[in-house]
Structure 1
Amino acid sequence: MSGFEIGAYLRDVAANVEAPHCIVEIGPWLGANTAQMGAGTVGQKRPATIHAYDMFQARSDEVRKAAAMGITIAKGEDTRPLVRKLIEPFGGTVELHKGDIMDITWDGTPIGLYVDDAAKTPTHFYNMIATFAPSFVPGMTTVVLMDYRFWEDRPTWRARKRFRVQQNLVERFPDSFEEIHNDVFDGTVMAAFRFVKAFPMGMINAQAKVRRALDLLPF
């Protein structure tokens, strides 16, 4: 949905990412951001591949959201064929990966643009960072966190603490993330950063393992 808000920004950033670097998107839903980034890669000498990861299975709330945009989907529907159809006119080389984001693996291809619109909780976010951050390129990679300030309007202290995970990471490693100030982010929960310096992955990997283990406990 944010493709309407930051579409032009994503096109511009994507236009500056060329192979062998690629673009990674976590949580494309129906492909609004994916389409914008695909359009940005059109005309590149060495087009960057966009890897988009999602369950691609419609939930009840997504059925309602889609209906508000004039798109009909059914609860439980496999939305990957629809997304492929919706983004096709915008061009770009896009690979849609269906499955649980906790099961994602990565082959180490360097990442020029990373867009996260799904990993709001500590478990999901640390797992995504553990998976993809080793392939961020210092001084080049743009990291767009769509839920960076999502925590601010949560109704309880516990929820605010839980959903502040993205901002906590940036604040913990201030030398690694340089915020990109752009009017397009004003009044939204989104933020973008230039990845400047690698941070200790040992801590991230440990956090990811602990968070996953805690989620498996029977309480």
Structure 2
Amino acid sequence: MPRSKQDIIPPKTETENSFFQQKDSDMRSAHLDLTAWAGELKRKIATSEEETAVFRRQAASLRTRADVLLDMANQADAEAQALRRLLQQVETTEVSIKSGPSSQKPPPEAERKNLASRVRTHVKIILKAAGRPLGRTEILSQLIDGGINIPGSNPAQRVGKILWEANEFEYKEKGYWLAGEPMSKHLIPSKRYRAPNRLK
């Protein structure tokens, strides 16, 4: 016996239920995919934020080190400037010492008086040892031999001036003698002694 039309065609409700079931399954699958993607995005965002924080800390540390290095550079530059000024002072002093005519400038008054006093003292000894008047060149020669240096362009003339201005000496018999001291006539030389005008 042939089956009825109702037996061949499934009920409409069953077809509709199958469609909605498939649709619900697809929607659940899509929801799961979006949830997983959102979770992956969150993980990536967190990783990026951590890296950003690390980079910011490194940048802050580098800025601190840069500030320290800049301060050190400023201090080194200040020290170099101070050393340059000191070097300039040393070089200026050295040039002044080298160029200064210390050996040619006239000695101070105290030094001149000290030299005259030394000359007078030694000349008294020289004349007493000679026992007769001596010329300025002979006196100069013996002064130099005794370690008395007479500066100037004409030391013999300077010795003569010192003795001429001193009260304890007098000029007689072509030479200098001790004022008021007697001398033997036979000791007076017939010719003046001429010694080289030595300089040291």
TM-score (norm 2): 0.20
Larger % of strand: which? 1
**Normalising to structure 1: TM-score of the pair?**
0.18
Rg larger for: 2
Q: Higher helix proportion, which one?
A: 2
